[in-house]
Amino acid sequence: MTATSTRPQERSAFLVLVLPLHDEDVLVKGEMYYYKSRAHWASLANIALETASIVFLSLLVISRVDPGQSDLVFASAVIVSAMIVYRMIRRRDWGIQDTILALLLGLWFIAAGLSLEAVAFLVAFCAIVRFTLALVRWQFYEVRYITNRRLIEVSGLLGRRISSMPIRQVTDITLDRSVAGEWFDYATLRVESAGQDQALGTVPYLEQPDYFHEAVIHLSTVEVT
C-alpha cells in the first residue's frame, strides 16, 4: 500500500499538540510509503504486567488480606507481583527531580493524614492512568514508515518526535528475534548507516519484520524517485 503526501491543513497549536499526526504531516511532497505500522502489541506486555502487579498489591492493602494466611498459590502471586514492582522501581533512572517529587508526595500523604488504604488506592489509580496513556500512545501516536526516501519513526504524546533516516544511507540492517519474537512475529531492528550518528539506530518491537526487511533491501538498492 502506498500514499502520496499532500499539503497539511492549517490547525491550531492545541490541535497540533493533541491530535495524532496524519500521513501528510509526516511525508514530504512526492514521498510514498511502502510500510506503515505501529509497534507490535508485545511492546505493551511489560507495562501491562507492572500495572496488574501494582493493582493486585494495592487491592491486598485495601482489603487487608494477610498473604501468610493464604494458600501457596496466592502467596506465590504476591511474591511475584512484589518482585515485578521492585524490578520496575530499580529499572527506572531516578534523577534528582524524581526523588524530590517522591519525597514531596510522601510528606503530603503524611500531612494529609491519608490512611494506608487511601494511599494504595491512589497508587493503583496512577498505575491504571499510566497504562491507559501508554495504550493510547501505542494505538494512535506511534507509527513506523518505510517510504521511497526514508525510514521514519513517529513517537510521543503531547510533544511529538519524528526520527528519520534517508533510505540511501542504510548500509546494514539486523533483525534480532527473541524466542517470544519468533512466536509472535516481531523483532528488534538495528540499522547502520553511512554516517556516524543515526536517529534510528534501534527500533524495538518491529511488526512484520520480514516484510520490513525486504522493503528496506529493495528500496535501498533502487534509485530514489
Provide the number of structural domains found in the chain.
Answer: 2
Least confident segment among 6-10, 49-53, 106-110, 128-132: 6-10
Is 185 in the same domain as 130?
A: no
Q: CA-to-CA distance for 201 and 203, rounded, in angstroms?
A: 7
Q: Within a domain: residue 5? A: no
Is 28 in the same domain as 111?
A: no
For residue 35, the enclosing domain spans: 13-39+144-220
Beta bridge partners of 162: 154
pLDDT of residue 50: 92
Q: Within a domain: residue 81? A: yes
Q: Within a domain: residue 6? A: no
Least confident segment among 96-100, 122-126, 214-218: 96-100
Classified as helix, coil or strand, 149 is coil
CB 224 within 8 A of CB 148: yes
Is 214 in the same domain as 148?
A: yes
